[in-house]
């Protein structure tokens, strides 16, 4: 059980909970320190000290590994390819409107324009293999390790989101990793990217009052994720006492910055998501570490743990 439960996003399958904790916790402590809570930051990172809040990573990345490939990731199969193409198209639409790099905006818009040609032209576009996926791999935003590896990164990202949505075994496994860490001392759950979807759905299966922080969240992606969330229609999980959403305006994955219109409060509750869109993560707008180091996040963490100490 943990006071703070962390939930990672896509393309983390080659790591482990311990590795990701070693990356996230210092960033989390940095945000707390930036918010003016140096002593708490030391307790989170410089410890372990008596009474230090425990921070644990809910690791579900191993669910995406292909057992027959010696630790490699399972490719997108025919069952998920159509859903993956829909997701790629949705991300291209967001890139056309919000991509940090102007060339990415132009490239994404070029694909979208071509995909709406008349029947004869559209057939030419569709004749390509996975046209939206291939177009997405051309964007600088989706090539963090260089264009030579962009295709693999895009494939992994699309495969993991689509498998979570379509594979019941993966979905249950991911949510259970979160629920296994939630106990009487839990005050805060932080989910990044796909991890915000996992955290959101998992929190519908607990009555433990907690604060939720979502970072770079695709929860409101209308064409793909939002209509497949559980339960339907989507509402704020009943157990939440607070929901804070962080969104860099250049974060393509966070397709809708303001989540409030899409997630009404649960019955008998007034809690709705509050979005902080004035986040600037620089050249890596979707970076979990860059979100965590912000003083806005640190202030929320300190307030949530202050509630724990008073409890």
8 A C-beta contact, residue 255 and residue 220: yes
pLDDT digits (tens, 9 = 90+) for 85-97: 888 888 788 888 7
Contact partners, residue 77, CB within 8 Å, separation at least 6 = none
**Domains present along the chain, CATH in parentheses:** 4-64+167-310 (3.40.50), 78-150 (no CATH)
Six-digit token string for 9: 């996003």
- pTM, full prediction: 0.87
Mean pLDDT in the chain?
Answer: 85
Averaged pLDDT for residues 90-109 = 80
pLDDT digits (tens, 9 = 90+) for 161-209: 989 999 999 999 999 999 999 999 999 999 999 999 999 999 999 999 9
8 A C-beta contact, residue 112 and residue 96: yes
**pLDDT value at residue 265:** 97
pLDDT digits (tens, 9 = 90+) for 213-269: 999 999 998 878 999 999 999 999 999 999 999 999 888 888 667 899 999 999 999
Separation CA 239–CA 39 (nearest Å): 29
Burial class of residue 216 (count of CB atoms within 10 Å of its CB; 0-12, 13-18, 19+): buried
**pLDDT value at residue 119:** 37
Six-digit token string for 139: 């964007």
pLDDT digits (tens, 9 = 90+) for 125-164: 443 456 887 887 778 776 654 444 456 667 778 888 989 9
Give the angle subtended at the CA of 237 by the CAs of 199 and 210, to the nearest 5°.
Answer: 70
Sheet harboring 240-248: ordered strands across?
Answer: 55-58, 4-7, 188-192, 210-215, 240-248, 274-279
CA distances from 110 to 61, 101, 114, 116, 247 (A): 33, 14, 6, 10, 26
CA distances from 107 to 72, 114, 132, 137 (A): 30, 11, 11, 11
**pLDDT value at residue 114:** 83
Contact partners, residue 229, CB within 8 Å, separation at least 6 = 197, 200, 201, 219
- What is the 3-state composition of the chain as percent helix, strand, coil, each rounded to the nearest 5? 50, 10, 40
**pLDDT value at residue 76:** 56
Phi, psi of 154 (to 5 degrees): -65, -45
């Amino acid at each position: 059980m943990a006071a703070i439960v962390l939930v990672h996003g896509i393309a983390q399958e080659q790591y482990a909970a311990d590795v990701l904790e070693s990356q996230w916790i210092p960033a989390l402590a940095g945000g707390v320190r930036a918010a003016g809570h140096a002593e708490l930051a030391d307790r989170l990172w410089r410890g372990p000290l008596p009474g230090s809040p425990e921070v644990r990573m809910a690791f579900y990345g191993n669910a995406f590994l292909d057992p027959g490939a010696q630790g490699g990731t399972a490719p997108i199969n025919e069952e998920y390819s159509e859903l993956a193409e829909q997701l790629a198209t949705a991300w291209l639409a967001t890139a056309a409107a919000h991509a940090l790099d102007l060339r990415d905006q132009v490239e994404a818009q070029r694909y979208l324009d071509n995909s709406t040609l008349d029947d004869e032209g559209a057939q030419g576009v569709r004749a390509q293999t996975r046209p939206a996926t291939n177009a997405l791999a051309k964007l600088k935003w989706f090539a963090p390790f260089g264009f030579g590896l962009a295709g693999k990164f895009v494939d992994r990202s699309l495969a993991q989101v689509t498998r979570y949505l379509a594979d019941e075994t993966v979905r249950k496994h991911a949510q259970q990793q979160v629920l296994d860490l939630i106990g009487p001392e839990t005050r805060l759950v932080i989910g990044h990217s796909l991890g915000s979807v996992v955290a959101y759905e998992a929190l519908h299966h607990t009555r433990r009052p907690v604060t939720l922080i979502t970072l770079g969240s695709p929860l409101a992606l209308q064409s793909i994720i939002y209509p497949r969330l559980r339960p339907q229609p989507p509402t704020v999980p009943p157990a939440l006492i607070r929901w804070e959403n962080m969104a860099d305006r250049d974060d393509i994955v966070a397709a809708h910055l303001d989540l409030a219109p899409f997630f009404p409060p649960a019955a008998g509750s007034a809690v709705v998501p509050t979005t902080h869109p004035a986040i600037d993560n620089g050249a890596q707008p979707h970076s979990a570490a860059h979100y965590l180091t912000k003083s806005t996040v640190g202030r929320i963490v300190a307030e949530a743990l202050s509630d724990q100490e008073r409890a």
